[in-house]
A and B are shown apart, each in its own frame.
Chain A
Amino acid sequence: MGTPAMLKFAMVLSAALLLAPVTSAADLTVEQVANLKGPDRQKILEEGARREGELLWVGSFNEDNAKPLLDAFAKRYPFIKVNRVRTDSTKALQRVLAEFRARSNKSDLVTSSAVVDLKKAGAIQSFASPTLDAYPAEDKDPEGYWAPFVFYYFGLAAYNTDQVKPPEAPKSYDDLLDPKWKGHIVVNAGSSGMPFFISFLRLQWGDQRATEWLERLAKQKVIGRTESSRTVFSMMVSGEHKLMIHPFLTHVGEAIKKGAPVNVAMVDPVPYTASPLMLAKTAPHPHASMLLIDFLLDREAQTIIRDGGYYPTHPDVQPAPEMAPFLPKTHGLKKFLVDETELANMQPETMKLYQRLFE
């Protein structure tokens, strides 16, 4: 944002703050509502939300985990009805962009990993939620276009303990290149799988070393599967494959809790990413949406997310005991945020490597 824009923004904001108590909240733009500050914020949001009465949440997050969250939200704000359209990340992006192009916005809250595409298109609004103050700077977007809602950590490789005994399990990147794994390694071919992994290696090691290592890995005849990452993981657990590269650590924790024959190798640094919450640029229900965003980031909601088996993002909410063994901190490992912006910038080169070596 250039200085004149910043100035204009500040003027609009202060004007909004001055006028807010007198004028009706309906006169505020989405941008103003999203960036409200001060002691009246909660009151203005609630008044506005009462008028709006509802909001539409578009995007990924499964029903089982969303339900307790929304029940708790309904208890706090019984006058807001949360409608949901559940889609995967890509379809959430398609919907929001199509609405944006047609100037016919229905979506308010958006959950999708396509942060950069939405931002480039100008389809999302930056926002400021006071609950985010408790969050460390490294975990949030300095520009405020998204807020971290759930964390995902990734292991180097998970393995089926019926087929791979701990002594022979891989412990380092180079262990994966052992010829004994040829034809036994599976990976999720979707964007959160192999392409993410390739970008992470390029970030960590630089292009030359990453490419060399990946070329050697490709000789192992890595099997790409297109089911969701969790299904690919469960195919490995069922014995179809011996190893899975780049598994979600939540899946490992969940499976071990249920007694599945599986374990995981983690190496320093542990890549992680945040599932982002976003606000549509022309959200028809900004007040209600901001209340929901505040809620999803606060302790109560984050505890519910934790109880659902996810890694919470709130610094005060500790992960569930069964998930603790799969936290980088537990093993004294560093964590490495793979930022959506970086991922998007690296994508063209990453996809070329992916196609050349693994497709």
Chain B
Amino acid sequence: MTETSFHAHIRKPASNAGGFFGYSPVVIVLVGLMLCVMLPPIIFLVMSSLHTTNPDGSFRDFTFRFYTDLVANPRFGRNLWNTSIYAVGAAIVAISLGALQAWIVERTDTPLRQYVFLISIISLGIPSVLYTAAFVLLLGKTGPVNQIIEALFGIQQAVNVYSMWGMIIVEGIDFAPLAFLLLAAVFRSMDASFEEAATMSGASGWQTFRRVTFMLAIPGVSALFILIFIRAFESFETPALVGRPAGIPLLTTDIYRATQVDSPPNYGQAGAYSVALLLIVAVLLAFYNRLSRHAGRFQTITGKGYRPRLMHLGKWRYLASAVLVLLFFIIVVAPIAIVIWASLLPFYQPFSMRAFGMLTVANFRGLFSADLLRDALVNTMILGIGTATVVSIMTALFAWLSVRRYKGAWMLDQLATAPLIFPSIVLGVALLQIFLAAPFAIYGAMSSLIYASSMRYLPYGMRYSYAGMLQIHTDLEEAASVSGAGKLAIFRRIVAPLLAPALITCWLYVFLSATKAVSMLILLAGPDTRVVAVTIFDLWADGSLPKLAAMGVTWTLFMACISGVFYSVARRYGVAAR
């Protein structure tokens, strides 16, 4: 089948959209809405990159200095190179781990596969600062990995986490659940008839995977690659926690200093960096858009029955189970185990007989005061549910309109992806400014927190919805249209239900991420809108590792229970493996 024959029957809905100059009114309204939401912080960002500031933080003189500083830095070339290796590496690690899990779970008959979805969402419930710190402890000089290697082989300090490899692995593992959840949706809704055709033509399992399954997954995978690449490119956490002790400078090292060490924070430099990033991201997105222009090639949910059949692995399925168990161990068990260990100690120390003698539950006492339980917990849930719902609904609409190539709808995708380039600290400052200037009282209110975190997670939600949408063929919508259904009815009765598995995953991902996001909320939350993440940050900033660990264990347990409830709901909608 050639590309043209596929394209021949994809009708461009834009031609019958009506509205103004071929723009659908829905698109116009949504683009207008997004511009209202996105433009103020972008303008603030560009302005701050072009101005020096007065002591009170207001803009003073126009300058290009921050841009010239960025490029004139003698280390710029090397930092850019380091950053690129790190970002590509992290994306490869995350996608490899995620794709392997997703394929085993969705396309094979491997035992235990039904638990991977649950496990992934549990790992998303672990507070981020703690998750990165857990890997630093696991792989550190005196960590259990080095202890075991030394006991077995007598090699001292065989693993050095403070290295480029360490950074790539820590960041890669951090994004593995995201990769798994996105790719599971891709693999699940893939037309198995191609694979069956390949198998019948004599291809081996590996050949089928490489030449059919993988190729069909390319749009999903490339979107994911770009997402993780950008996120790693602008990330502060792993470069700060792992790269800084390794002495590996990245582009964000300067931004870290500008916003965290310098006082007052130098937003000009951070702004210039973000603007440069914005341009790079625009290029990547344009590239991605070209790639997905041929989306017709990848649509596999058509009018005919699309539920893919599972591949029978035979005796290999036990190997596949072993792989799942190993990954479960790496992604969830090991980091949680070290956090539990830390939570039971008066001060952090590696495994030893002396340490065993000191175990205590004192860190768990008084962790949850009545206030915290009452206010912060309720606020956190409102924030998570609100953000996830806003993001899911908006991105479902955006994805539908842009995948169906409504005129101008590409802008929705671009606008929803733009927040990715804001380092959250810069976005936080921009929003703080905007909320304070708003003519109505939004500063410190819950609605402002939902607004801010919706913005932060729109890009991620967009990828879930987009990947899900790409695979829905137009013929069902056309059939509905021919039968007289209006646009809204089509979206509500055809698109939304078909998109439901992707949307539920999207909702869960955003819910879990929004409840643990920190740096922006610290700037924006008011005294009445305390959230649990801020308490966790407080413990992190205070530096009491055992207390932080105790809080983290308790929080993870709580989120695991919530995840479990959602999991059982999600199963009913066919999100998780059957």
Which A-chain residue is minimally distant from B261 (CB atoms)? Answer: A191
Interface residues of A in 9-50 (CB under 8 A from B): none
Q: Which residues of B contact A89 (CB under 8 A)?
A: 263
Q: Does B433 contact A (CB under 8 A)?
A: yes
Q: Which residues of B contact A117 (CB under 8 A)?
A: 55, 263-264
In the complex the two chains form, what is the Cα distance from A85 to B241 in whole Å?
26
Residues 50-64 of chain B: 1 if any A CB is under 8 Å from the residue's CB, otherwise 0? 000011111000000
Q: Which residues of B contact A195 (CB under 8 A)?
A: 261
Residues 223-254 of chain A: 1 if any B CB is under 8 Å from the residue's CB, otherwise 0? 11111111111110111100000000001000
Quote the shortest CB–CB distance from A236 to chain B (angstroms): 10
Q: Are A231 and B261 in contact (CB under 8 A)?
A: no
Interface residues of B in 375-429 (CB under 8 A from A): 429
Q: Are B57 and A230 in contact (CB under 8 A)?
A: no
Q: Are B436 and A351 in contact (CB under 8 A)?
A: no
Most buried by B among A88, A190, A251: A88
Q: Which residues of B contact A131 (CB under 8 A)?
A: none
Which B-chain residue is minimally distant from A100 (CB atoms)? Answer: B56
In the complex the two chains form, what is the Cα distance from A164 to B542 in whole Å?
27
Most buried by B among A89, A104, A226: A226
In the complex the two chains form, what is the Cα distance from A149 to B540 in whole Å?
22
Q: Does B257 contact A (CB under 8 A)?
A: yes
Which B-chain residue is minimally distant from A237 (CB atoms)? Answer: B347
Number of interface residues of B (CB under 8 A): 57
Most buried by B among A97, A102, A251: A97
Interface residues of A in 302-317 (CB under 8 A from B): none
Interface residues of B in 149-189 (CB under 8 A from A): 162
Q: Are A260 and B57 in contact (CB under 8 A)?
A: no
Q: Does A93 contact B (CB under 8 A)?
A: yes
In the complex the two chains form, what is the Cα distance from A197 to B55 in whole Å?
25
Which B-chain residue is minimally distant from A60 (CB atoms)? Answer: B541
Interface window among A120-128, A168-176, A270-278, A288-296 = A120-128
Q: Which residues of B contact A251 (CB under 8 A)?
A: 543
Quote the shortest CB–CB distance from B16 to chain A (angstroms): 48
A260 touches which one: B55, B261, B347 (CB < 8 A)?
A: B347
Q: Are A225 and B56 in contact (CB under 8 A)?
A: no
Q: Does B574 contact A (CB under 8 A)?
A: no
In the complex the two chains form, what is the Cα distance from A234 to B140 in whole Å?
13
B263 touches which one: A67, A100, A104, A191 (CB < 8 A)?
A: A191
Interface residues of B in 346-366 (CB under 8 A from A): 346-350, 358, 366
Q: Are A121 and B56 in contact (CB under 8 A)?
A: yes
Apart from A101-B58, A117-B264, A195-B261: 7 A-B pairs, beta carbons within 8 A: A83-B527, A121-B54, A189-B244, A228-B542, A230-B544, A238-B142, A359-B253
Q: Lowest 3 A-B CB distances belong to which pairs?
A: A230-B543, A83-B527, A102-B436
What are 12 A-B contacts defined by CB distance under 8 Å?
A60-B541, A63-B538, A85-B527, A93-B264, A104-B436, A117-B263, A191-B261, A226-B256, A227-B241, A228-B543, A258-B347, A347-B263
Interface of B with A (CB < 8 Å)?
54-58, 133, 140-142, 162, 240-241, 244-245, 247, 249, 253, 256-257, 259-265, 346-350, 358, 366, 369, 429, 432-433, 436-437, 443-444, 522-523, 525-528, 534-535, 538-545
